[in-house]
Amino acid sequence: MRCSQREVFVKREEPTNPEWGKPPSQRTADEYIRHSFVILDKPRGPSSHEVAAWVKKILGVERAGHAGTLDPKVSGVLPIAVAEGTKVLMALSRSDKVYVAVAKFHGDVDEERLRAVLREFQGEIYQKPPLRSAVKRQLRTRRVFSLELLELEGRYAVIKMHVEAGTYARKIIHDIGEVLGVGANMRELRRVAVTCFTEDEAVTLQDVADAYYIWKKYGDDTYLRSVLLPIEEIARHLPKIWVRDSAVDAVCHGAPLAAPGISKFEVPFSKGDIVAMFTLKGELVGIGRALVDSEEVKKMERGAVVRTDRVVMRRGTYPAMWKKGQRAAKT
């Protein structure tokens, strides 16, 4: 699964003052850790909460949080944000997932019939969460983007599923077995992607521990910077808006991003989409919801464009030029 490529629309060419902020690559190792994001390959056994706690302990930070819980028996891609980065975990709140499941059928299954049933389950489906789940058991709809039979041997099948966030893979396997009339249960599950973050770039807990040790012991943060990603990467899959220096601090104070504060932005995006706001140096300021679609933004000279929901940048990183405007308006 890849992130979609978007075009950049330049609303106004704008320089950025080198005295304020810094590109993510120029952060010190301490700053880098506090604004980092880990695509972790969670092992089977511990819970997602335990794994996040271990990352927090290894890196010596006060908090770390994960997106998209994996059950203890499930392995695979678990995005973890560190310290300041936890403020924007909602960037992954609605991300689709890709799993590879091993299903065991309770009777013999014809391959062509199985493939036909898998096609029936693609699209919008109804699901009630299983008995042991963290959410209320009520009927709801979820979208299944694709179900692919990778292998069938005897009564065991390997199935790859690309699904909407909040879809229960175990329930899909159970329901497929019911439709086939033989029953089925899931024997193993691995998450291979969260939106465009795949297992190919995932690292282990040992990688994180080794990278931190090498930096502390030898002062070399090269490995650390390859294992941890800058928090900006958490918005890899989101439409991006680059904010003029003069508007950055207002957004940091929670103000909506207005049209005059925009330098350029990626298209397309729709009203209600989650978008990411960046400085012209490539620093993540925060994320929010688009109040208008991208085509309208092209024509706007004033008015709010994004409702600011989460801010990761510290106030005062850029000068508070918006306060000067307020004082001028009062005089």
**Catalytic residue list:** 71
Give the contacts of 52 (CB within 8 A, at least 6 positions apart).
Answer: 64, 65, 66, 80
Are 265 and 7 a contacting pair, CB within 8 Å?
Answer: no
**Calpha distance 142→150 (Å, rounded):** 23
Are 300 and 259 a contacting pair, CB within 8 Å?
Answer: yes
Give the contacts of 131 (CB within 8 A, at least 6 positions apart).
Answer: 137
Intra-chain end-to-end CA distance of the chain, in Å: 55
- The bridge status of strand 274-279 relative to strand 240-243 is parallel
- CA-nearest of 189, 233, 226 to 208 is 226
Sequence letter at residue 316: G
